Each structure stands twice: as C-alpha cells, then as structure tokens.
Amino acid sequence: MLKFCILASGSSGNCSVIWTEKSAILIDCGCNSKYIIENLVDLKIAFENLAAVITHAHTDHVSASVLSFLRKNNIPLYAHENAFEDLLRKYGSKVEECVKMPFYENFKIKDISVEYFNVYHKDKNISYACGFAFLHKINTKEYKIGYLTDTGKVCDKIIRSLINSNILVIESNYDKIMLDSSLRSRNNKEWVLSDWGHLSNEDAAKSIVKIKAFSKTNDSLKYVFLAHISDHHNTTEIALKTTKEILLNKRISNIKLFVAKRNKRGPVINIT
C-alpha cells in the first residue's frame, strides 16, 4: 500500500503527506499545525510513524507552529543542510530543539526511499531549495512520487529526476497575462518571471510533456497535480485549460489531471 494526499498548496501554505503501513512523511509543512493535525487524524495517520521533509525554508513551506508540533512530538525534520542554515536564521531555537536530520545525499525513511534534486528558487530570505522523488516497493514493483515546487525553470537534470513518476506534483504558479496585468510590484514580477522565481502554466505543461516522453513505464504520470496556483496571477480554470491544451496537442490523454487547492484537502491516491 502506498497513499498520497495534498493537504494544501499555495502561497498561504503547502503540505502533502505520503504513507504506507510502516511510515508517513509530511512533505513541506507550511500550514498551521491545527489544520495539519486535524487532517492527519482524519486520515488515521499515527504520529509515531511520522517524519517531515521540507523543500526550502519559506514560511509557506515550513511554519513556526508546525515546528512546535514536531518538537513536542519528537518527529524528525529532514532538510538539506543548506536549507537548515536558512531555517536556523529564520527560526533560531524553534529549529535547534527539533530532531534535526540534515541530508546532503539520498536517504531512506523506513520503507520509503527519498531522492532529492536541486531546483531554481531563491531570494533574499532563502539560499537553497530542492525537489524530491519518493520511492516505495509493493511486492517487486517500485512506485514513484515526484514532487516539484517551487522552481523558476526545469532543466534536463530535474526532468531526469522525475521520469517514471506514477504520481507527479508540479508547480503551475502563474498565467503570464494575469501576472503582467496584476498589481504586484515590478520587482516582484521580475523575480517571479526569473529563473529563480516560479513556474508558469505553459512551462509546467511543457515539463509534463518532457517527463512523459522520457518515461519508460506504462503507468508513468498516471496522476498529475498542478500545484502552488497563485491567488493573484492565476486561476485553477486557466491552469487546467492551458495544461490540457498543451497535452492534447502532443496527443497525451492518459493522465488524470488535478489542481491542488489552497485551503482544501485533495483526493487520496491509493496504490496497492
């Protein structure tokens, strides 16, 4: 059994969970702890099986209240050693008192293998971000969940890290026309558009096409979630429409496409 669910995705908070009979992993924890705890209880995920991994130290990916929850329950926090430096600058003792598990190479959490890859996302507040691939064997078959949020561009190395993902979460942050006409400052728009900002709907869709093309397994990209939809310069309808049009143009129709919601838990994907 391998289960996956996005609890929330957007600039107000990001959190997903992957779990098996033996383990459970929070992927980013940028929501308030009350919301995350309520969802974990509702999904019947035991705290004693839980670990947390984070992509980077922005507040919408790791919140102070969740750090307190992790610390109180002795739940280990995994982050790249560079991301830990960002966390320590931001949260200080709240991080010091956590069960810290810095990594600089691929690792394993019980029966789930975790592979990380560098992404293109930084600003004055953070210096490092990464994406993940989570792998779990059921009988003799290995299943993979790819997780990419946030990044300003998708290079060939990132594509290679995500090929053969059965479930893919990919940032589809902004619509270029909406961004151009939004009330955001010029500096913010330039950062979002840069290689170190966020991913547009078009670039996300083109990345899905590339990942699908290089994947060798028949059930690759069976489920794809468009994540981190901007509240100011995107809509779920535009993100879906843009992606579907690009996929259909490439004759790709065997993908179940979802849009991750800002403040609402998504469907549970169950692989058995």
* Predicted pLDDT at 263: 87
How many independent structural domains does the chain possess? Answer: 1
Tens of pLDDT along the chain (272 residues)?
Answer: 999 999 999 999 999 999 999 999 999 999 999 999 999 999 999 999 999 999 999 999 999 999 999 999 999 999 999 999 999 999 999 999 999 999 999 999 999 999 999 999 999 999 999 999 999 999 999 999 999 999 999 999 999 999 999 999 999 999 999 999 988 899 999 999 999 999 999 999 999 999 999 999 889 999 999 999 999 999 999 999 999 999 999 999 999 999 999 989 999 999 97
For CA atoms 210, 261, 66, 200, give the dihedral sign: positive
Structural domain includes residue 268: no
Q: Which of 192, 156, 195, 157 is nearest to 175 (CA)?
A: 192
Bridge pairing between strands 15-19 and 2-8: antiparallel
Structural domain includes residue 241: yes
Q: Which of 31, 112, 109, 43 is nearest to 75 (CA)?
A: 109
Mean pLDDT of the chain: 96
Tell me the residue range of the domain where 74 lies.
2-262
Structural domain includes residue 183: yes
Q: Where are the beta strands (DSSP E) in the chain?
A: 2-8, 15-19, 24-29, 50-53, 77-80, 100-103, 107-109, 112-118, 130-138, 141-148, 167-171, 223-227, 256-259, 269-271
Residue tagged 């009350």 (tokens): 34
For 27-71, the pLDDT digits (tens) are 999 999 999 999 999 999 999 999 999 999 999 999 999 999 999
**Could you tell me the CATH number of the domain that includes residue 204?**
3.60.15.10
Structural domain includes residue 269: no
Structural domain includes residue 270: no
Give the Cβ contact number of residue 17 at 10 Å: 24
